[in-house]
Amino acid sequence: MSALFSPITLRGLALPNRIMVAPMCQYSAENGEANDWHFTHINSLALSGAAMFCIEATAVEAIGRITPGCLGLWNDATEAALRPILASVRKHSKTAVAMQLAHAGRKASSHTPWDGGQLIPVSEGGWQAEGPSAVPHKETEAPPRAFDAAGLKRVREAFVASAKRAERLGIDALEVHCAHGYLLHQFLSPISNQRGDEYGGSLQNRMRFPLEVFEAVRAAFPASKPVGLRVSATDWVEGGWDLPQTIEFALELKKRGLDWIDVSSGGVSPLQKIPLGPGYQVPLAQAVKQATSLTTIAVGLITEARQAEDIIASGKADMVALARGMLYDPRWGWHAAAELGGEVAAPPQYWRSQPSTQKALFGATTFGTR
């Protein structure tokens, strides 16, 4: 039996396989509101064969968007825009739907990647970004405004409000975004966090705000539903956030009821030196799993079915999450199941697509004609 296509349970959520469609920013919303692009994108990948699809980084407040085109869930309009999309997914797909709650912090007010991705100055239509300290992501950029106590309270409450909206939408699971140089990662890293109060300095202080946010989200979301977290396990910069600190953070999260940890890396500094290659982040996930026994998701240039199978079968991680690979092959899960002898759910309109050599791909299905 394929390890990749074996079931796993996250709190009250039973998943038939170990594949997740990773959250992928689409930079295509309008005022934070999902639109026809998201309808097409989400419905397509909900039929990928993955057991869980995670909606892209979803900003908990307007100034927490990375770009003006980023998705949000901070008011009635952004909530309402997602409702028909999710209704369509539920009608045609059995995949669990998760959502990644996020805040960009000092990396907010940026152009989309295809427009260069650089900071948009306030004078050119951008907005004032906020962060742990008045330290810019790049030396040539305007610094963010450092959060005061009122600002931190506002952000915590925004995460809670978005978690409650996600529950009203029927979202099955949440992932708190604490990676890629965005706000919660900025608090963790000494590169971006140079505060002198109880939220800066020591590891315990730098972990404080991300832990507060996680605790608040966990308390606001139903106890039967899982809440995970994505972390950058290293900044890939000397003197920055690193794997030993990540393990300490993960252990603190475990005490607070974390259901999975999604292990990525980088994003907090343009000085990072990332050793890119197939599965380059898997050793980070493996180290976190071994040290904490948490349910761990591996990500990063996982593209081949047998590569993913080995990650699960060898115990390096409990699940895999694919992003670019799913964009390139929106039926990646089907093809992996065919190669590994697994089974996936598919709508009956597509049953006739299975190859004659793979009659068990969709289970015991028949498709008659007349």
Active site residues: 182
Classify each residue of 322-360 as buried b or exposed e, where b means 16 or more C-beta atoms within 10 Å of its C-beta.
Answer: bbebbeeebbbbbbbbbebebbbebeeeeeeebeeebee
Whole-number Å distance between alpha carbons of 353 and 348: 10
Burial class for 176, CB neighbours closer than 10 Å (0-12, 13-18, 19+): buried
Q: Are 170 and 90 spatial neighbours (Cβ–Cβ below 8 Å)?
A: yes
- Asked if 154 and 213 count as a contact pair (C-beta separation under 8 A), the reply is no
Which residue intervals of the chain are DSSP H helices? 36-45, 76-92, 149-168, 183-188, 203-220, 243-255, 282-292, 305-313, 324-328, 332-340
DSSP designation for 228: E
Rounded Cα distance between 61 and 297, Å, is 27
Whole-number Å distance between alpha carbons of 49 and 230:
22
d(CA 250, CA 252): 5
Rounded Cα–Cα distance for residues 254 and 172 (Å): 20
Tokens 């793979």: give the residue: 358
For residues 220 and 359, what is the distance between their CA atoms, to the nearest angstrom? Answer: 44
d(CA 273, CA 134) in angstroms, rounded, equals 24
Report the candidate in 25, 6, 28 with the shortest Cα–Cα distance to residue 17: 6
Pair of tokens at residue 148: 């005061």
